[in-house]
Structure 1
Amino acid sequence: MSNLQGSLRLIWSAVKGKEQDYTTLGIRKSIVLLAVPMILEMVMESLFAVVDIFFVGKLGATAVAAVGLTETVLMLIYSVGMGISIAATAMVSRRFGEKNYHQAGNITFQLLVTGSILALLLGVVATYYAAEILALMGAAPDVIAYGLRYTQIIYAGNLAIILLFLINGVFRGAGRPHLAMRALWLANGVNIILDPILIFGIGSLNGLGLEGAAWATTIGRSIGVVYQLYHLFNGKHLLKIVRANLVISFSVIRRILQVASGGMGQYLIDSASWIFLTRIIAEFGSNALAGYTIAFRIIVFALLPAWGLSSAAATLVGQNLGAQKARRAELAVWLTARYNVIFMAVVTLIFLLFGEHLAGFFTSEPEVISVASEALKIITLGYVFFGLGMVMVQAFNGAGDTRTPSLINIVVLWMIEIPLAYLLAITLDFAGTGIFLAIACCHSFHALVSWWLFRQGNWKKVKV
């Protein structure tokens, strides 16, 4: 009983948040304090993805297909946000390990400047060419006509998406993951509330249909960013932006871009591979594409909490390398990997047993359910490896070694996965089944390569 009470107190402490020195605190305790809010943060992101597609699914397969194609390309924008977020975690965690808090604030301001400029540039281009992007992805004319406004609103609001990712990366690097958790809960909580209201209407308020889903997402995430900025500028934490930091430093921005470019690269490569896979499955019709989209959302629901746990390793690696404790950083990674593999094994069992029921929760169309449930059951076979690989990649990123995961992605995802998926799906006529098999095999191989390279230890020598 005392052990259970102690564990509950530790979890509650993680949720409340308290500044800790993760270079001296026990490793197991550090993982819990960092991972619990990160997992809860990603649970809300997962819940948002599932709830959003649940409401959109009520509008029919055309609406789901439009969302799937829009979000596939939106992953490119996510890649920019994630790349800068990786740089934020690596650079801020290293400064916190060194106890150089003023420089951490300076880096944070430069990150905001860099992220905002990139977001505005991407938003203008993507919004202007929204129709052409949907057509390029293989959308039928009815999908383009129905989903264009949704796509334009989502792309135009990408500043909130990138800043939300970026600032949460800063919070995680500073060992303040509870602030990242609260920001995402606020953002996605607002979105979940607004989704049914803006899509279907309430009382005398008419719904906006699919366009309402876009507005709900944009408004919710913008509110989350306002919350983040308040905590960066209120001066109540070791991580803060003060007047002395409000000077643009091109040397720091250049270093941010150097670290972020590898992070952007690995996510752009990963996103591009998903785009190619989506483009292939679009050849088999809207029902296949809708099933794939639903399965992808459910997969994200499971992977995001695992990613949250993996992110604890990134913070611990960065801060302990800053404190010149490389061995401690490595031990933290192996222990986090063990926990993540166990979690993903449980998810594997759930998807194998209940994949069809999960798919049926989002749609009543038999063909869509069939595609989605098959995707879940096949891709799930690689989940245990996914759990290991996610921690290894986050460990590289936490050390500032963003180049290694990028190279792995190029070789495994572009040179192996895409050709294999095309061979199985188109050439050998396995259709969607071939794509799902390619994903399970290649992402498992990706994890094993990452594990082998992590053991080589070159990540310990990276300077950020």
Structure 2
Amino acid sequence: MSRIQEMRQEILEGSIEKTLLKLAYPLIISNLVQVLYNITDTFWLGKLGREALSAPGVSWPLIGTLMSLGMGFATAGFAFVGQYIGAGEYEKANKAAGALYSLMLFFSAAVGVIGYLLTPYALGFMKVTDNVYPYALAYLRIIFIGIPFSFTSFAFSFLMRAVGDTKTPVKINLFTVALNIVLDPLLIFGLFGFPELAVKGAALATIFSNSLGSLIGAYLLFTGRVGIHLTRETLRPDLSFYKKIFRVGLPSSIGQSANSFGFVILTRIIFGFGDVTYAAYTITTRLVNFLTSISRGISMAMGTMIAQNVGAEKYERAKKITERTMIVNFTIASIAIILIGVFRVQVFKVFLDDPAVIAESAVVMKYFLISVPFFNGIFMVVNNVFQSAGHTKKSMLLGILRLWGLRIPLSYLFGYYILMSSKGVFLGMGLSNFIAASVGILWFLKGSWMKRIIEH
């Protein structure tokens, strides 16, 4: 408890830059390692061909749609626990954490079953090509079996971030990602006596590693070694607190799942221009994720500081934290995009030496990637502020505006009617980032998020 109190004091009164860096660097490492795994996964699957490489990219919008329902409740739990810590209400923080964890256990089981059953229909709806379909189906169904472990794993990470402990989840993540990287080639290609499972091997490596990480996190929570201490008492279903989590978490769940489903629609739009266009999009976004992992880590660290400062009703400090985070993230994302533009061809050849895909990547760069600094540096930061403050309706509306109000209609309009090519799709995606970032910063400056959600 003393460690949590010391961190709280630093978050509420210490140097903004120093505290932000202290919280952010483990998250940055975690993000970089996670994206390194995604790139490794893409590298190995690329050896099997364009169709196998596209399977995870096709699958994650659908997985994300269902997982985002749970992510919304995890966001609510994060806001409650963070604000209780900021207010110095440590017992209430434990109670909120227990309610979140028990709710996630129930919810994840239902999501796993529903996802498994819906997979064939969802892939058909996305108009996944016949070449990619069997790979995506196999990958998805295995992933959905392990969904409960994924839910409890990110619940653990959210709870640790809420109390200001960003190092423990990273240590677990480093272990699980390293295990995943080792298992990938063994199960994909059947090396050293392992079965040759191709795309199924990549999925099995993922759920095995995630499950192990989830169990380690549960052990730490139940033994009380990480500040939060879960017990039978705190895990007991608490309908009154479930209502609070639903009240705050439901808008976030709706917003995040609607956005994830929007990427299902976007996948359908992109696939309308063929496997080459989608393969270029998949590789390019993986590269962006790698190069912008620093800004994502800083944004997540900012969320911890926002939650606790709002809980302590230090709103002007929270605003100052946000503004400084925007400047840092915009700069980092801009440098990342420049690097991608300079080394695009050489890097693409590492993953897939396909001239058609490499040529298409230039289109993605020109019409879409230049907008990424506005997404990472402004939109993502503002959205995180709204969620961390517990004002999830604002984050829901902002997210839905970007995807459903702008990205999908603009991509479809420019792609199929105005430019009638993949250039139009990526132009629409880029414009959605520019416009949504402008709306987001105006809404942030209005200051309506400066109100905590916990009781006085």
Give the TM-score category using the shorter length: over 0.9
Which of 3, 22, 34 is residue 33 of structure 1 equivalent to? 22
2:436 maps to which residue? 446
SS of 1:248's equivalent? coil
RMSD over equivalenced CA pairs, Å: 1.9
SS of 1:206's equivalent? coil
Whether the 8 Å CA contact 1:66–1:139 is kept in 2: the answer is: no
For residues 349 and 423 of structure 2, the distance between their equivalents in structure 1, rounded to whole angstroms, comes to: 19
Q: What displacement does 1:257 show? A: 1.6
Whether the 8 Å CA contact 2:73–2:249 is kept in 1: the answer is: yes
For residues 453 and 19 of structure 1, the distance between their equivalents in structure 2, rounded to whole angstroms, comes to: 28
Residue deviations 1:219-260 (CA, integer Å, cap 9, x gap): 111111112112212223432223442322111111112222
Q: Does 1:340 align with 2:345?
A: no
Q: Among the aligned pairs, what percent are the same residue?
A: 29
- Report the CA distance shift for 1:371/1:160 in structure 2 as closer, same or farther (over 3 A): farther
Q: Which moved more, 1:205-214 or 1:260-269?
A: 260-269
- Report the CA distance shift for 1:178/1:297 in structure 2 as closer, same or farther (over 3 A): same
Q: What displacement does 1:371 show? A: 2.1
For structure 2, the residue ranges without an aligned partner over 5 or more in a row are: 1-5
Amino acid at match of 1:404: K
Amino acid at match of 1:325: K
1:46 maps to which residue? 35
1:224 maps to which residue? 213
For residues 293 and 365 of structure 1, the distance between their equivalents in structure 2, rounded to whole angstroms, comes to: 14
Amino acid at match of 2:76: A
Residue deviations 1:273-309 (CA, integer Å, cap 9, x gap): 2222210111122222222222222222234432221
Whether the 8 Å CA contact 1:405–1:450 is kept in 2: the answer is: no
1:68 maps to which residue? 57
- Residue pairs, 1:187-336, within 5 angstroms: 187-336=176-325
Q: What displacement does 1:27 show? A: 1.5
Q: What displacement does 1:411 show? A: 2.6
1:105 maps to which residue? 94
SS of 2:368's equivalent? helix
For structure 1, the residue ranges without an aligned partner over 5 or more in a row are: 1-16
Amino acid at match of 2:383: V
Whether the 8 Å CA contact 1:422–1:435 is kept in 2: the answer is: yes
Amino acid at match of 1:332: I
SS of 1:459's equivalent? coil
Q: What displacement does 1:20 show? A: 6.0
Residue deviations 1:96-122 (CA, integer Å, cap 9, x gap): 101222211111111112212221111
For residues 131 and 323 of structure 2, the distance between their equivalents in structure 1, rounded to whole angstroms, comes to: 50
1:125 maps to which residue? 114
Q: Does 1:353 align with 2:342?
A: yes
User: TM-score when scaled to structure 2?
Assistant: 0.93
- Report the CA distance shift for 1:61/1:357 in structure 2 as closer, same or farther (over 3 A): same
For residues 59 and 148 of structure 2, the distance between their equivalents in structure 1, rounded to whole angstroms, comes to: 16
Amino acid at match of 2:363: E
Q: What displacement does 1:455 show? A: 0.8
Q: What displacement does 1:321 show? A: 1.4
Amino acid at match of 1:63: A
Q: Does 1:382 align with 2:387?
A: no
- Report the CA distance shift for 1:373/1:440 in structure 2 as closer, same or farther (over 3 A): same
Residue deviations 1:298-355 (CA, integer Å, cap 9, x gap): 2222344322211122111110111221111111111122211111121121122122
Whether the 8 Å CA contact 1:316–1:329 is kept in 2: the answer is: yes
Residue deviations 1:140-169 (CA, integer Å, cap 9, x gap): 334323442222101221112222222211
- Report the CA distance shift for 1:421/1:138 in structure 2 as closer, same or farther (over 3 A): same
Residue deviations 1:379-434 (CA, integer Å, cap 9, x gap): 22112212122111111111001111211222332122211111111112442211
- Report the CA distance shift for 1:142/1:353 in structure 2 as closer, same or farther (over 3 A): closer
Q: Does 1:422 align with 2:424?
A: no
For residues 286 and 55 of structure 2, the distance between their equivalents in structure 1, rounded to whole angstroms, comes to: 14
- Report the CA distance shift for 1:349/1:145 in structure 2 as closer, same or farther (over 3 A): closer
For residues 373 and 441 of structure 1, the distance between their equivalents in structure 2, rounded to whole angstroms, comes to: 17
Whether the 8 Å CA contact 2:83–2:452 is kept in 1: the answer is: no
Whether the 8 Å CA contact 2:309–2:315 is kept in 1: the answer is: yes
- Report the CA distance shift for 1:270/1:303 in structure 2 as closer, same or farther (over 3 A): farther
Q: For this pair of structures, how many residues does the alignment match?
A: 448
For residues 131 and 389 of structure 1, the distance between their equivalents in structure 2, rounded to whole angstroms, comes to: 34
User: TM-score when scaled to structure 1?
Assistant: 0.92
For residues 237 and 158 of structure 2, the distance between their equivalents in structure 1, rounded to whole angstroms, comes to: 20
1:24 maps to which residue? 13
- Report the CA distance shift for 1:301/1:262 in structure 2 as closer, same or farther (over 3 A): farther
- Report the CA distance shift for 1:141/1:95 in structure 2 as closer, same or farther (over 3 A): same
Amino acid at match of 2:378: L
Amino acid at match of 1:65: S
For residues 363 and 262 of structure 2, the distance between their equivalents in structure 1, rounded to whole angstroms, comes to: 20
1:145 maps to which residue? 134
Q: Which moved more, 1:299-308 or 1:356-365?
A: 299-308
For residues 112 and 415 of structure 1, the distance between their equivalents in structure 2, rounded to whole angstroms, comes to: 33
For residues 72 and 297 of structure 2, the distance between their equivalents in structure 1, rounded to whole angstroms, comes to: 16
Amino acid at match of 1:114: L
For residues 192 and 337 of structure 2, the distance between their equivalents in structure 1, rounded to whole angstroms, comes to: 42
